[in-house]
Structure 1
Amino acid sequence: MAETSAPYPLDEPGLWVERVGDKVFQDGGPALFLDRDGTINVDTGYPSDPEQVVLRDAILPVIQAANRAGWPVVIVTNQSGIARGYFGWDVFAAVNGRVLTLLREKGCFVDMVLACAYHEAGKGGFGVGDHPMRKPNPGMLLKAAEMLGTDLGGSVMIGDKDADTEAGRRAGLSRLFLAREASVAAEQAAAVEIQAISGI
């Protein structure tokens, strides 16, 4: 049964919205949006054990470039495992906390995390088809941009699925990169793009 109560930062039962840290960003600046599983960490299929979290090294220079440029780094992740009843928000919190800790140990810092647990095959209130917050819909990106004052048109999105880049496209982004397990080309291109935009 999925956990839906406090102290988790839930805007609604199936939507996690967490501001990490208190860094202030300039209004109208770009952001780096990242999918999580398969983009930041190796996707093991509904990750539920913090001890099994392994980062993808290819993404680290991209996050570091965004950090140096003063861009907010935002995770936007679909979490249908919660909708399906495989685990609850407590497990998500533990796994995501481990992801953030491992990133910090590598000098990579995330400023916001959004997670959508809604899915058409979900149980109870999580069983919502085509929820506006679930990628490929752009809801999570739009919400983050509203909260951070982000210029979506100048932002970058990286994910490992077509739904990730489609969410970026629907949100008005044009700098979209599809990460592949066997290649680092997308990550390298994204890092170069961030550096070029920021002049770093």
Structure 2
Amino acid sequence: MAMRPAIFLDKDGTVLADVPYNTRPERMCFAPGAAVGLALLATTGLPLVVISNQPGVALARFSIDELQGVHKRLEEMFAEAGARLAAFYFCPHHPDGVHPDYARVCDCRKPAPGLLHAAAGAMSIDLASSWFIGDILDDVEAGRRAGCRTVLLDNGNETEWRGGPWRWPDRMEKNMEGAGRWIVHCLAGGDRRGSPAHATGAPA
């Protein structure tokens, strides 16, 4: 199979409003601008892949089986927005967890890039021509370590602004709508890297 780009998306705070440790489908709702952003990204024809840390499994807040309902509702919500969810990858680990099967350091918990590499291998994704959209700098670092271009949503969810060589996004936007418009612009032949100083609050 030929390699192709993809668009990776963080889940909570990016696609969905951030409701901590939620696995109830009826409580899942789009973050501001996310439905329009997904519709814009759908026009690219690229696979849309959700990459999410789910430490609630390791912390015994919910079971790994409960994430099946989250996956199904995500698929429905993407369809409602006129898009298609190609895959949902999640990390159930946390080094301070209490569940013996998941309480460990791993290579899939963001900011590590393991989930992106797993998706790339399974779906023949060219990471160097792909994008990662997230709402905190751990998303940016995971994307950049995997070789992707990155968009940080400057929506107030990043509070520490801990900098570093992997934690500078290619672009900053207020929400998924802005990110979607920028990526569509880039894929149509615009500036492929963009300006990391586009929004306020850029990391040092």
Counterpart residue type for residue 187 of structure 2: S
Task: Write the deviation string for residues 101-149 of structure 1: whole angstroms up to 9, x where unpaired.
Answer: 12212212110110110110122020112x1011100000111112222
Counterpart residue type for residue 184 of structure 2: Q
Q: 1:126 aligns with which of 89, 97, 102?
A: 102
Q: Which residue of 1 aligns with 2:90?
A: 115
Output the TM-score relative to the length of structure 1.
Answer: 0.78
Task: Write the deviation string for residues 46-69 of structure 1: whole angstroms up to 9, x where unpaired.
Answer: 012211111124122332233221
**Structure 2 contact 36–81 (Cα < 8 Å) conserved:** no
Q: Which residue of 1 aligns with 2:25?
A: 50
Counterpart residue type for residue 198 of structure 1: L
Counterpart residue type for residue 128 of structure 1: R
User: Secondary structure of 2:14's match?
Assistant: coil
Matching of residue 80 in structure 1 with residue 55 in structure 2: yes
Q: 1:198 aligns with which of 187, 192, 196?
A: 187
Q: Which residue of 1 aligns with 2:144?
A: 169
Q: 1:185 Cα deviation (Å)?
A: 2.6
Counterpart residue type for residue 125 of structure 1: D
Whichever structure has more helix as a proportion of its residues is 1
Change (3 A) 1:163 1:56: same
Q: Which residue of 2 aligns with 1:35?
A: 10
Q: 1:41 Cα deviation (Å)?
A: 0.9
User: Secondary structure of 2:50's match?
Assistant: strand
Question: Runs ≥4 in structure 1, deviation > 6 angstroms?
Answer: none
Write the distance in 2 (CA, Å) between the matches of 1:84 and 1:37. 17
Identify which of structures 1 and 2 has the higher relative contact order when contacts are C-alpha pairs closer than 8 Å and 6+ apart.
1
**Structure 1 contact 55–99 (Cα < 8 Å) conserved:** no
Write the distance in 1 (CA, Å) between the matches of 2:14 and 2:154. 7
Write the distance in 2 (CA, Å) between the matches of 1:67 and 1:39. 16
In structure 1, stretches of 5+ residues that fail to align are: 1-25
Matched residues, number: 174
Change (3 A) 1:56 1:184: farther
Q: Which residue of 2 aligns with 1:149?
A: 124
**Structure 2 contact 94–102 (Cα < 8 Å) conserved:** yes
In structure 2, stretches of 5+ residues that fail to align are: 158-171, 190-204
Aligned residues with identical type, % of pairs: 30
User: Secondary structure of 1:80's match?
Assistant: coil
Q: Which residue of 1 aligns with 2:198?
A: none
Q: Which residue of 2 aligns with 1:65?
A: 40
Change (3 A) 1:106 1:66: closer
Counterpart residue type for residue 33 of structure 2: A
Counterpart residue type for residue 170 of structure 1: R
Write the distance in 1 (CA, Å) between the matches of 2:13 and 2:81. 18
Write the distance in 2 (CA, Å) between the matches of 1:146 and 1:33. 14
